[in-house]
Every structure is written in C-alpha cells, then in structure tokens.
Structure 1
Amino acid sequence: MIMWELTTGCKPFANVEHDHRLIYNIIDGVRPEITEDTPDHYANVMKRCWDSDPKKRPSAGEISNMCLNWYRQSNQAAELKRKELINSKKLGPKFSEKPHPKAIYTSRPISSYISKCSSIFSKCSSINSSNDYTSIEVVLDIDIESKSKLLGTKRKIEELLNDNSYENNGKYFI
C-alpha cells in the first residue's frame, strides 16, 4: 500500500468507509487500481506484495535489494543520457537561451578582478612591511578586582609551597 501511495500521491481506499466490509473486500483480493504511469517493474513488485499467499510475497531484504538496483539503474541511465548529450554536442551555451549580461551566474572574464586584487594585496603588504602601525583602541569589560584576587591567592599558595617552614611530614598547611 505504501508503494501505491507513493506512485499516486493518494491514500488507498480513501473514497470508501474503513469498516468491516473494506476488510472483507481486501481479504477477497480487492486492491487499489495501479495507475498507467506506474513503471512495470514497480507495479509487479506491488502485485507481489499484495499476494494473498504470504510465501509469494517478497521479503524486506528482497525489496531493499530491488530498490537499490532500481536506484543504480536510474543513475546509470541518467549518466548514459548525459554522456550522449555531451558527445552529440547538444549541451552548451548555443543551446540555451541568450543570458542577460548582468545575470548573476553569467560567466565573465575575471582577469580584471585578479589584477585589482593583486594591486590591493601589494598595497596591504607594503603597509604591513613599513613601521607605520595602525592601532584600534578596544574597550574590554574585564572584572579586574576578581582577577587580582585570584592572582593574589595563587601567589600565596605558591609562596607557601616554596616555604619549607610550613612543611610537616610531607604535607603543607595553608
């Protein structure tokens, strides 16, 4: 039923009441109609899944392998089509619409941009190599009192550890 819903975009049996009659109809083999645009290999798997004999239904692993093969085949087919278009020269700018000159993604020569960047870079390099420094004053909100208390406590501990007079049986008293 999930496969059918994926191909149609509709819920199965949405047009009938979901009651005991629907259950009996499904047991008797009533299934949603497979649409014409459903690929044959996909429709065949759906029909196998709907078989009233559970032994004839594919396992989850078998369905997984089939889906993986379909995925690979569709990628291979798409790649073959791309190669065919490339070889037939049906790809490229002469087959597309004429782009607007100010289109964002239009390819343009970038040599002028490169030379501008090079000149800017060389100016920056010459400024950095000279002794003219530009500094910016930055105001930082740092709690200096708590930092100095912490450093003071650290110094006291270090002094105590270095002072042998506080040593007693390999232990330090603070």
Structure 2
Amino acid sequence: MRNNTEKHVAYVALFAALIAALGLVPKLTLGFGVPITAQNLGIMLCGTILGAKRGSQAVLLFLLLVAVGLPLLSGGNGGLGVFFSVSGGFLISWPISALIIGWIVEKCQKGSLALVAGVASVIGGIVVVYIFGIAGMAIVLKKSIWECTTMASIFLPGDIIKAFIAGLLTASIAKARPASVLSRQ
C-alpha cells in the first residue's frame, strides 16, 4: 500500500511540474490581458492521465506554489495577485477542470481512449474553463458576459487543438505504458 501511495504522490508532483514546464513555452498576451499559454494542455493531461482525484490534486499543488509566489505561470508570473487579475477566473477553474476531465475518463471505460480523453478535455478543459474565465474577465474588466465571451472566443481554435493533443497523448501513453494511465485503473 505504501508504494502505491508514494507512486501517486510522485505522479501528482510530476504533473504539477509538467504544468510549470509548459509555462516555459512563450506566451502570447492578448490586448485584454489574458495570455495564450500551453499550460492548459497540462491541466487536460492531469485529468486524462491521473484521473479526477489525483489530477485535481496536481493542479491544486501547482496553484499553491503559484499562490506562495513562485513564478510558475507563463511569462514568469506568480503570487496571490494573479488570482484577482483578468486571468483569475481561468486559474480558479483549473482544478475543477482536471476533476471533471478525470471523472469523465474514469466513467467512460468503453470506446476509444483518444476520443474519450479528447471529448473530456473539451468539456472540462474548454467549457468549464471558459465559464469561470469569462465570468472572471467580466468582473475584472467590468464588461458584459457577451463582450467577454466574444473576446475569449479567440482562444477556442488553440484550445480545441490542445484537447485533440491531450486525447492522442493519453491514448499513446496508455498503449506504451498502460499502468501509467491512472484514470483507466
């Protein structure tokens, strides 16, 4: 039992580090202050590979490190202030996103893992993230939900590609190392 717990703790730490590493990919900040980053791909992979519980734990660990001031977000940002910025709603959504993605992959055991993981990433990694992110943008920017939805729509093509990549990566990892995809155990 102890080895299994240690293994799961290691996976949580590893995926928190993966999210941080994806922050090293150069960001593109849009005119209204929200950056396009690779880090939400890491959030999707937390759910598809680790499952609901461990995936959300990895994201919470990452956000805790950001909250204490480590510059782990894309562009080297960190600290409590980022949670009250125009990106705050997106950040707050991440653990919920990983939880929902993981839950879907855990419950849908039949069919193509690539398809299940991709669809789960769209539902949890796009729909859920956008609900929180757009609400946060509306509050911070003092704009309507519709205006913020229009602004956020610029992210959609890239996020769909990331969901597709998350599905393919998850299926590839499951094929190469089935025991590594904890969401399917």
Normalization by structure 1: what TM-score? 0.24
Rg (Cα) greater in structure: 1
Structure with bigger RCO (C-alpha 8 Å, 6+ apart) = 2
Q: Which has the higher helix share?
A: 2
